[in-house]
Amino acid sequence: MGYIEVTDLDGQGPYIYKVNHMHMHGPSEHRLDGLQDDLEIHIVHELVDGPGDWRNYKEKLAVVGVLFRVDEKSHPFIEKLRPLDFGEIEGIDLSELIGEGNLYHYKGSLTNPPCADVVNWLLQTRVLPISKEHLESFRDIWYEYLGHGNFRDCQPLCERRVVRNFH
């Protein structure tokens, strides 16, 4: 389905990750400039190759976080998910979400138990649109099946180093 290359915060790599799955959280689990957005999609990748003894590299996952904010019309990717009828999805291209844009990168943890510190997080700074109707449709499903929202509150950085690929 696709691969990404990640250079470690210490300049080692590139480490090669293959996409595994996608899931979403609403509201967002990350915040940019203190603002919590309405939805966050996580594109989860598993480590498949890298330099040297890559099999012992701690960050077994790389997760690309993409934020969404309520707007008049949804991004075309959201439309393809068919949030109003949840019918069969003919096909989606995750590269529509992963642009050549600006990213924040840090080493962190999974956002659900066991919350292990095994993730290279890549958070896009570009916030995409989602209609209120589509967001409410996702929330209805979460509340029907979970009985609550599906996000973890923003956690402290705990002295983690965050870098960016832009000025």
Class of domain 3-164 (CATH, top level): alpha beta
The answer to which of 24-28, 57-61, 112-116, 122-126 has the lowest mean pLDDT is: 112-116
Per-domain residue ranges of the chain: 3-164
Residue 106 pLDDT greater than 80, yes or no: yes
Q: Give burial (CB, 10 Å; 0-12/13-18/19+) of 8.
A: middle
Residue pLDDT, tens place only, 21-44: 888 888 999 999 899 999 999 999
Residue 56 makes CB contacts below 8 A (sequence gap 6+) with none
pLDDT at 133 exceeding the cut of 70: yes
Task: Dump pLDDT digits (tens) for 143-163.
Answer: 776 655 666 676 777 788 888
